[in-house]
Structure 1
Amino acid sequence: MNHGPAPRTTKRAADANQFRHNHYVPEWYQKRFLLPGEHKYWYLDLKPEIVTNGKVRYTRRDLLNWGPDRCFAQDDLYTTKWGSIENTELEQFFFGEIDSEGKGAVEYFADFAHPSADGEAFKTMLRYMTVQKLRTPKGLGSIAELAKSESKNVNLLLLQRMQNIYSAIWTECIWQIADASDSETKLIISDHPVTVYNRDCFPMSEWCRGYSDPDIRLVATHTYFPLSIEKVLILTNLAWVRDPYQSERALRPNPNFFRHAMFKFTDIQTDRKLAEEEVIQINYVTKRRALRYVAAAEKEWLYPERQLGNRDHWRKLGDGYLFMPDPRHGHMGGEVIIGYKNGTSAAFGPYGHRPWQKGYKDPAREKREWDSLERFKAEWAAMKGQDYTGVTFQFASRGHPPMTRDSDEMHEHYLKLDAEIASRPGERSRRRRLRMEQPS
């Protein structure tokens, strides 16, 4: 009996089939949003199919109780076809490596605490988040629109070439890790988990229709990525933290994608405790920016709009500052100079400019940002109180933990400054346009 070639062919076919059911949100990531001891969660279809079967026409169920193996997945999403040859190596090797390395990076930042500084985890996280943003049906649709391509093979090739496209912009953001442990409502996830929010780009606006997201380089654009059922990573453009009084849709300084950038672990803000209302508002944004599916450990978390009622105005979420880090940790300057062993050096401005580039030194911009940052610190202190909403490691020293609140003198200074600013013409009306009406 000949047992040679046939079994090997069968095994190759089995191996190929193993990689044809493609999770665009990995199973290991989904499991981070299950309650302890649970293996399923609630999976909501925002656009359930209408099925015609003979003379019967019906809409499929929109709410399902499924496990991660069945959620956020599509057959042959990443299978390429060249003539009659189908290839699953993209799922097996490219996404396999991305997911394997990304898992550790997600765990690192979910548990991040100062003074940790793992540069490899940081680089892995940037690549993982970029690919996660591009690999979903929404991300692939945006690539197709950008490239004006109907070729699946071409779009998947472009995805691989773009795997580091957001790295420089995100590196120069203020990073913040927020915690929902004090809230009964926890975080939900969507079919596009790396989510983008700009308060001036409403869900049905030209920046958000179809597969589109607001450009991450628009100054007021926040990028956020839930790390677990209780942790979320929020990235905010430095220029927006320094000056949230400018046009939300202005481009940040030095918006070029492909270049070197510098990151400071000590500037990461931790220990922000999200209030129940803030978690619900974040879930609302997640749902509105999803393409088709959202999932949650509890059924009621899937309907944040019901809990918000008339407090769902896009611009007014968080009184206009839902995703903002605490500006009192903000500082001017930011020039970084690196010396190498061979005697050479390299310098970077706060927005990644090199010394020979226009914008490396910009006295007018620095003066405007200095004034606006002090103004914002005062407004924030008046809104949030003396305690910081997040903690950095900037001012910590050996034997002394990071500061968690302003001194009495500094807080009093901010309150007086804010009162003076609030009396300026037009300032009260500006604030009213951002403030959410409180429930009675």
Structure 2
Amino acid sequence: MTVSTAGYRHNHYVPIWYQRRFMLPDQSRYFRLDLKPEVKFSGKVKYTRRDLHQWSPDNIFAEDDLYTTKWGKIENTEIEQFFFGRIDADGPQALDYFDSFAHPSVDGKALHNFLRYMGVQKLRTPKGLAHLRALSRSTHRDTTLIELQRLQNIFGATWTECVWQIADASNSPTKFIISDHPVTVYNRGCPPLSEWCLGHSDPDIRMAASHTIFPLSLNKALFLTNLNWARDPYQNERTVRPNPKLYAMIKGAQYSARDFGFGGKSLAHDSADAMERHRQLLKRYSRRS
């Protein structure tokens, strides 16, 4: 390790810039709820850490050397420096575009960068990496990181074919929150304790009733609904959608700004009860929020 690479060893799997989107302008710290507090030992005394903490974004949702590859005695930080560096450089502007989206705006570059960021965000968390490792049958953590880069656009084609809706909580006293796994997949046919959600697993986004939920800021969140479910919400929730192949895995993402559509106006979430349901849903699929 050299001095020039030392700054790339502390890896945020939820970027600092994204966390700040959920803070007020004069806010420097915010509360984190640990849903599974660590059990520690002090000598022979066993205790459980507090579940509620107040942290700066610099100190939360991060691990040392999460993205550092190690081949023998050689350690390399280029994935954090160059791959995630580019993703996180393009992400803020893309999220800004959809956070303030208004018809009939079309920005193909913003769409591409947004889908790539959201897909990588789903894969880069500890939960996402564990799921990717299981899917790709990787036997080495470095191989998993290589697969993450290769499959960075794997979800893009499926999400492009969804109905896109943006929930707006501007008039609600309750706001959106984030977690250690910000891209949440919810399917009412796959409850949190079901076989589809155990461990590191999420419901498959290709199941008819699977909704992808991605908070954009304190006041906005994106909801993606499979088109076949929007047309027929009475079918089996776990039916696989038409054209289910994640062909982005093989060819690279095949999508354009012409191929996706918003489901009309933004959804107004003025009710504190509705917002609280969203917050509880996000917590059920995460470890920390």
Alpha-carbon distance, 1:46 to partner: 1.2
In the alignment, structure 1 residue 35 sits paired with structure 2 residue 35: no
2:284 is matched with: 288
In the alignment, structure 1 residue 212 sits paired with structure 2 residue 201: yes
1:55 is matched with: 44
In the alignment, structure 1 residue 273 sits paired with structure 2 residue 277: no
Q: Counterpart of 1:293 in 2: which secondary structure? A: coil
Letter of the 1:278 counterpart: A
Instruction: Determine the C-alpha separation between the residues in 1 that align with 2:112 and 2:78.
Output: 24
**Contact 1:177–1:269 (Cα < 8 Å) also in 2:** no
Instruction: Determine the C-alpha separation between the residues in 2 that align with 1:243 and 1:266.
Output: 18
Q: CA RMSD in A?
A: 1.3
Instruction: Determine the C-alpha separation between the residues in 1 that align with 2:36 and 2:212.
Output: 25
Letter of the 1:272 counterpart: L
2:147 is matched with: 158
**Contact 2:163–2:261 (Cα < 8 Å) also in 1:** no
**Contact 1:115–1:266 (Cα < 8 Å) also in 2:** no
Identity, % of aligned positions: 57
Tell me the matched-pair count: 282
2:251 is matched with: none
Paired residues for 1:14-25 under 5 Å: 14-25=3-14
In the alignment, structure 1 residue 123 sits paired with structure 2 residue 123: no
Instruction: Determine the C-alpha separation between the residues in 2 that align with 1:35 and 1:128.
Output: 23
2:129 is matched with: 140
Letter of the 1:74 counterpart: E
Structure 1 residues 20 and 35: CA distance shift in structure 2, 3 A: same
Instruction: Determine the C-alpha separation between the residues in 2 that align with 1:168 and 1:258.
Output: 7
Write the deviation string for residues 78-98 of structure 1: whole angstroms up to 9, x where unpaired. 000011010000000000000
Write the deviation string for residues 170-205 of structure 1: whole angstroms up to 9, x where unpaired. 000001111011211111110010110001100010
2:62 is matched with: 73
Letter of the 1:41 counterpart: Y
2:176 is matched with: 187
Alpha-carbon distance, 1:73 to partner: 0.5
**Contact 1:203–1:289 (Cα < 8 Å) also in 2:** yes
Alpha-carbon distance, 1:150 to partner: 3.4
1:174 is matched with: 163
Alpha-carbon distance, 1:264 to partner: 4.5
- TM-score, with structure 1 as normaliser: 0.63
Q: Which has the higher contact order (CA 8 A, sep 6+)?
A: 2
| Residue from 19, 31, 34 that aligns with 1:45 | 34
Alpha-carbon distance, 1:36 to partner: 3.2
Alpha-carbon distance, 1:35 to partner: 2.2
Q: Counterpart of 1:116 in 2: which secondary structure? A: coil
More displaced 10-residue stretch of structure 1: 133-142 or 255-264: 255-264
Structure 1 residues 266 and 193: CA distance shift in structure 2, 3 A: closer
Letter of the 1:100 counterpart: A
Alpha-carbon distance, 1:261 to partner: 4.3
| Residue from 75, 90, 94 that aligns with 1:101 | 90
**Contact 2:120–2:152 (Cα < 8 Å) also in 1:** yes
**Contact 1:117–1:265 (Cα < 8 Å) also in 2:** no
Instruction: Determine the C-alpha separation between the residues in 1 that align with 2:35 and 2:151.
Output: 29
Q: Counterpart of 1:189 in 2: which secondary structure? A: coil
Alpha-carbon distance, 1:268 to partner: 4.6
Paired residues for 1:370-385 under 5 Å: none
Q: Counterpart of 2:223 in 1: which secondary structure? A: strand
Instruction: Determine the C-alpha separation between the residues in 1 that align with 2:38 and 2:262.
Output: 46
**Contact 1:114–1:266 (Cα < 8 Å) also in 2:** no
Alpha-carbon distance, 1:265 to partner: 5.8
1:380 is matched with: none
